[in-house]
């Protein structure tokens, strides 16, 4: 009987350590689907600010030219980069775009059209 009690007592800290590690993993790595379309992301960022550096840059529904355009972005439009996949950044407009896309609209932008990345 003493042996069983000792085994149970030793198991409790191990179970607690596993539970604590699982809790830390869940809180430090948010689910990719938490932001919506960014489930296609391979890297999550800490919301970096960016400025569009080219005119007529597409804001797309997915991370390739095969996805539909939500509209055009122009030099000076401000974005918040949420995550990336390859050379595509999933972003949110920080203000209404020069072409009239509403503030808060999210979509994918090729990163070679962005300048002034700041975190």
Domain ranges in the chain?
Answer: 1-30, 32-118
In CATH, the number for domain 32-118 is: 2.30.30.40
pLDDT tops 60 at residue 71: yes
Q: What is the pLDDT of residue 106?
A: 95
pLDDT at 51 over 50: yes
Contact criterion met (CB below 8 Å) for 63 and 108: yes
Output 108 or 34, whichever has higher pLDDT. 108
Whether the predicted model's global pTM rises above the 0.85 cut? no
Rg of the chain's alpha carbons, rounded to an integer?
22
How many H helices and E strands in the chain? 1, 7
Strand, coil or helix: what is 38? helix
3-class SS of residue 9: helix
Q: Is the pLDDT of residue 108 over 80?
A: yes
């Amino acid at each position: 009987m003493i042996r069983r009690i000792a085994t149970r007592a030793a198991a409790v800290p191990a179970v607690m350590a596993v539970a604590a590690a699982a809790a830390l993993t869940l809180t430090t790595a948010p689910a990719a689907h938490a932001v919506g379309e960014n489930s296609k992301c391979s890297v999550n960022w800490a919301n970096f600010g960016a400025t569009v550096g080219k005119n007529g840059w597409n804001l797309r529904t997915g991370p390739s030219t095969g996805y539909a355009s939500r509209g055009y972005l122009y030099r000076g439009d401000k974005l918040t980069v949420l995550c990336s996949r390859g050379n595509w950044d999933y972003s949110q407009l920080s203000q209404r775009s020069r072409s009239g896309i509403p503030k808060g609209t999210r979509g994918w932008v090729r990163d070679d059209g962005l300048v002034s990345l700041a975190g």
